[in-house]
Structure 1
Amino acid sequence: MTLTRREFLKGSCATAAVGAVAGPSLLFAPSAHAAANGHDTVVHLFLRGGLDGLNLVVPIDGADRTFYEQARPNLAIAATGAYGALPLTLASGAGTGFGLHPSASGLRDLWNAGHLAIVHACGLASSVTRSHFDAQLYIDLGTPGQQGIGSGWMARAMNVQPNLNGAEQLPALGVASRQPAGLLGSVQALTMSSPGDFALNAGAWSWQRTRSDSPAGLRGVNETLGSLWAGSSALELGGQRADRSLQVIARQSYSAAPAGWPNSEFARQLWTIAQSIQFNLGLHYATLDLGGWDTHNGQGTAGSGYHYYQNKIAELSQALAAFYAALDTSGHASRVTVIVQSEFGRRVRANASGGTDHGYGNPVLVLGGPVNGRRFYGTWSGLDPEILSPHFGDVPVTTDHRQVLSEILIKRMGNNHLATVFPGYANYAPLGLVRDFGTLAKPAPRLRARPIKPAAAEQPDLLERLMRYVQEWVD
């Protein structure tokens, strides 16, 4: 037999075979019905390639505006006008000194509704690299500076997640073509690029599954799979689990995105996550990528005509706004928290190719019903060249990204096993980003300055690192 997607092997068969030995009863509960979940769901969105955070969250007044325009004479987003930044104000109406890219109107609306918070200058506080591959892996694994741990931070969180009883059909989901690195090591995670692709592809198309025009009595390969694994050996038990994982997805009423939903692959993948939450499958953790942010040249700004970055921001903003609206309508938004981050930011100063090079500190977005939104968190050091100079012209990281994730794990997921999820991380303190599970009070944010680490020069051994990264993923 052949498979339609590698994730069936990596996210189902192999995972289920391990589960057959370990004994977890994931993916075996009865067919689910839509209902408001009694637990929270964390959705981690990784913007791969290095988002230019300064053109998403834009300084619009004061000294930083002057420094910003000087550093980006041809890339700066206008402070006002038809293509000017969308001002971000506090609930009191007071200005923050920042605005969003004009294509991010959906995110602006979430901010104004109090469902979006932004953490300034966030990132890898304890390990500096300009390598996409290293930085992404450090974040996925939750171990900055270390790549050999063999499991992802989200997998470790799942493995120590309280109140899981084994009856959850879909406790963790990676919407991808292969198992995301953040879920490596979990025997409870399922990976699929889309529900329609989560099936075996064996033999002629007409034999793969029973369809409405199939001859009477025909049973397709997908329907026959279970009977092939009738024994009690480890392999056969693993096959049974693989079959049942297929059945779990097949039994759900996954549908095409509704009318008016943004027409992008990323948006359709978010619709898969939204439905998985609404089906009450026990989904606690989900992860999804959006690539294309490595804008070394031809980045574009905002205005009429084609601007690459403008279109990417619109894609992100429209999809997240639709995702939140769908969950809000179905009564699930109050128990979903979304983290949006990239591996690092871009240089403050534009390059000579109409783009930006690899940087350091970057905004992290946190949105959802439990978020104490319409506020900035963390410490903003400003864009004065004298401040940037010790950091090679980059925005310094003043908040460790693990501080953001840790607060959500503790307050929303009831998971305080930080030493397991983020080994080596210490000195956690809540920022006040989210409300405690089951509470309505909105505590004032606690702003904490973190040690500022100098950035490193551009890595000279990028090819070597690329080859090592590729080799790690070959199987």
Structure 2
Amino acid sequence: MSHHPHQHSASRRRLLAGALGLGGLAALAPLRLARAADFKALVCVFLYGGNDGMNTVVPMDAGRYADYAKVRAGLALPQASLGRLGTSDFGLHPALAALNPLFAAGKLAVQFNVGPLYAPLTKAQYHADAGQTALTPPSLFSHSDQQVLWESASTDAQSRTGWGGRSAVALGLASPVVSVGGNGHFGLSELVAPLVLPGPGEGFGAAGLGAADIGWKPNALKLDAVKALAAQAADTDLAGAFQKQQQAAMALADQLGPLIQRRPGDAGSNAAIDTAFAPLIANGNVTTGLGQQLYQTAKLLDVRATLGGTRQIYFAQLGGFDTHGGQAGANVLAGTHAALLKQLGDALACFQAALTALGLADSVTTFTQSDFGRTFLPNNSGGTDHAWGNHHLVFGGAVKGGLYGAYPTLALGGPDDVGVDSWEQQGRWIPTSSVDQYAATLLGWMGASDSQLNSVLPNLPNFGSARNLGFV
């Protein structure tokens, strides 16, 4: 069964969106820029549904490509269509062609076979207790559970917090995680929710009381009344705390509202950002969902001092990757998965072009996450099923471009496949790098100390000295 993350309507987001996470934003910075040299931001792009990493990054050397094509059959990408990654033996799906120049420039890294792990795990250990040992993450191959394990960097499927949210607290960030992709688990901490922002053209503030609404006098009077209530002295500590959050939310809405609503070409829009996103703009709108989210992120990074601090974390998402059937359609180069990857690659390339234009190319690192990888062996419906380890992309000016981690042995039932009996030999890879190591590498670049990393990523010490995967 396909699982999708919780979605929130625009009207719900407009109800003082993110108010629970605004306690640290009561004293807002003016619209001045932190020097790029002192500023760092992480941007998580979550691919909901479980991206097929085996068709995202494909081996091109004769031996492994033959192994790949034999098993993948009708889902195999033609070798000549792949965008070779430099002089390596791997290529990107042709729908990701917009990212090949980043690899050529040394700004794109591929991390092979990463996934949730409690500690390093062998196939023998996995099967030692029918897959139920303490080393085995719970509820493998389940959308909802594996989304939580990736977003929380935990092997506790009941984890209440996300590693982005915990990082914001541990690093003392001035703002919570800023989400342009809904209220995902990634941005939650024990006491603070992510700051959830709508897309370009949407209002941000109290529902029905935004700048476009208060031209009508009854609405203006209603807004005055709401502000007056929030300014009244509270008779309990709880009421006082809530009022402070209301005041902070309304102040932030006043300050960010016009920026959030601005679309390409609108008065006051940043021409450099609009130019970078030009391939995705038509009739004054960014035409893809992920493009809209990253366009919004670029605008926020341009006025980053408004959110405060020199470290920030952002969250965006693209859904639809649960490709059980018809993954390739009539043409593997233009099917469902290809369309999703094209949206991903084009939006990421435009975003990086915008960061370069803003002088932030070296200050922002963007990375992908997803529920899990998909089976190497296609199913009988022309699609792929739920698996485990997956390949992920990291890019930015600070990234040490290249290929990282261990690519799995392309043998059904081989040393990296969880399957032993013939029926379970589907190519579900046991990860050779963990979500904890992946997150620690990114957070280490942000300046997190070893003790901070241990507090945010409780399983990290289980990997000994192998805490940093080296891609940034």
TM-score range, shorter chain: 0.7 to 0.9
1:192 to 197, 214, 218: 197
- The aligned counterpart of 1:418 is 453
- The aligned counterpart of 2:83 is 86
- The aligned counterpart of 2:377 is 349
| Deviation of the 1:409 alpha carbon | 0.7
1:405 to 424, 436, 439: 439
Contact 1:337 1:368 in 2 (8 A): yes
SS at match of 2:297: helix
C-alpha separation between the residues in 2 aligned to 1:88 and 1:251? Answer: 41
1:205-261 per-residue CA deviation (whole Å, 9 max, x = no partner) reads: xxx345499368983645653233112321433321221232232254763242514
SS at match of 1:140: helix
- The aligned counterpart of 2:283 is none
Matched, 1:244 2:251: yes
Letter in 2 for 1:376: L
SS at match of 2:95: coil
SS at match of 1:197: coil
- The aligned counterpart of 2:65 is 65
- The aligned counterpart of 2:290 is 266
| Deviation of the 1:201 alpha carbon | 2.1
Check 1:59–1:390 CA distance in 2 against 1; reply closer, same or farther (3 A cut).
same
Letter in 2 for 1:238: Q
C-alpha separation between the residues in 1 aligned to 2:186 and 2:107? Answer: 28
| Deviation of the 1:380 alpha carbon | 1.7
For residues 162-177 of structure 1, the aligned pairs below 5 Å read 162=172, 164=173, 168=174, 170-177=175-182
User: How well do the aligned residues superpose, as a CA RMSD in angstroms?
Assistant: 2.7
SS at match of 2:73: coil
SS at match of 1:201: coil
For residues 120-159 of structure 1, the aligned pairs below 5 Å read 120-126=112-118, 127=137, 129-144=140-155, 146-159=156-169
C-alpha separation between the residues in 1 aligned to 2:11 and 2:178? Answer: 15
Letter in 2 for 1:378: G
2:98 to 80, 103, 106: 106
Letter in 1 for 2:376: V
For residues 249-328 of structure 1, the aligned pairs below 5 Å read 249-250=256-257, 252=259, 255-257=262-264, 258=274, 260-262=278-280, 263-280=287-304, 281=306, 282=308, 284-300=312-328, 303=331, 306-328=334-356
C-alpha separation between the residues in 1 aligned to 2:10 and 2:329? Answer: 39
C-alpha separation between the residues in 2 aligned to 1:253 and 1:31? Answer: 16
1:407-427 per-residue CA deviation (whole Å, 9 max, x = no partner) reads: 121123334412211123312
Letter in 2 for 1:5: S
Matched, 1:329 2:328: no
Contact 2:18 2:197 in 1 (8 A): no
Check 1:217–1:69 CA distance in 2 against 1; reply closer, same or farther (3 A cut).
closer
2:406 to 379, 394, 416: 379
| Deviation of the 1:293 alpha carbon | 0.3
SS at match of 2:74: coil
SS at match of 2:231: coil
Contact 1:141 1:151 in 2 (8 A): yes
C-alpha separation between the residues in 1 aligned to 2:20 and 2:261? Answer: 24
Contact 1:159 1:186 in 2 (8 A): no
Contact 2:152 2:186 in 1 (8 A): yes
Check 1:148–1:305 CA distance in 2 against 1; reply closer, same or farther (3 A cut).
closer
Contact 2:436 2:459 in 1 (8 A): no
| Deviation of the 1:307 alpha carbon | 1.4
C-alpha separation between the residues in 2 aligned to 1:370 and 1:173? Answer: 21
1:409-458 per-residue CA deviation (whole Å, 9 max, x = no partner) reads: 11233344122111233124222211xxxxxxxxxxxxxxxxxxxxxxxx
1:286-311 per-residue CA deviation (whole Å, 9 max, x = no partner) reads: 11111100000010179598511111
Check 1:150–1:218 CA distance in 2 against 1; reply closer, same or farther (3 A cut).
closer
C-alpha separation between the residues in 2 aligned to 1:304 and 1:394? Answer: 21
| Deviation of the 1:371 alpha carbon | 0.2
SS at match of 1:414: coil
Contact 1:153 1:422 in 2 (8 A): yes
Structure 2, unmatched stretches of 5+, are 1-8, 119-136, 235-239, 265-273, 281-286, 420-424
1:73-114 per-residue CA deviation (whole Å, 9 max, x = no partner) reads: 11100111xxx111112xxxxx32110111111111111111
SS at match of 1:99: strand
Select between 381-390 and 263-272 the one with higher mean Cα deviation: 381-390
Contact 1:50 1:293 in 2 (8 A): yes
Aligned residues: 405
C-alpha separation between the residues in 2 aligned to 1:289 and 1:78? Answer: 28
C-alpha separation between the residues in 1 aligned to 2:294 and 2:89? Answer: 31
| Deviation of the 1:193 alpha carbon | 2.6
For residues 182-221 of structure 1, the aligned pairs below 5 Å read 182-187=187-192, 189-194=194-199, 196-202=202-208, 208-211=209-212, 214=215, 219=220, 221=222
Contact 1:11 1:189 in 2 (8 A): no
- The aligned counterpart of 1:340 is 368
For residues 46-65 of structure 1, the aligned pairs below 5 Å read 46-65=46-65
- The aligned counterpart of 1:75 is 75
The two structures have a TM-score, normalised by structure 1, of: 0.78
